[in-house]
Amino acid sequence: MTQDNMILWGASWCAPCGPLKKFVAEHYPNVNIRDIEEGVPKHLSIKSVPALQVSGRVITGVNEIKMHLARVIQ
């Protein structure tokens, strides 16, 4: 899985999203970062943010997202 195929979804009103977006931008620069307020594809079921979209699957939670990125991107 390449970083280019991942999207980190956040929102301006989401407190943990800001620090996570900065962390991801610094450590995983090819992960796309988007705001859910700009629209989310209908096939995705994002019920909370932050959320990491990985090949149609959605991972939520700051720790879970960081663990996934560390595991798949070395």
Give, as one character, the DSSP assignment of residue 47.
-
pLDDT averaged over the chain?
Answer: 90
What is the torsional sign of CA 68, 43, 1, 5? negative
Q: Evaluate if residue 74 carries a pLDDT over 80.
A: no
Q: Evaluate if residue 32 carries a pLDDT over 90.
A: yes
Pick from 9-18, 20-29, 35-44, 62-71: least confident: 35-44
Q: Evaluate if residue 48 carries a pLDDT over 70.
A: yes
3-state secondary structure of 25: helix
Which CATH code is given to the segment(s) 3-72? 3.40.30.10
Q: Is the pTM of this model over 0.85?
A: yes
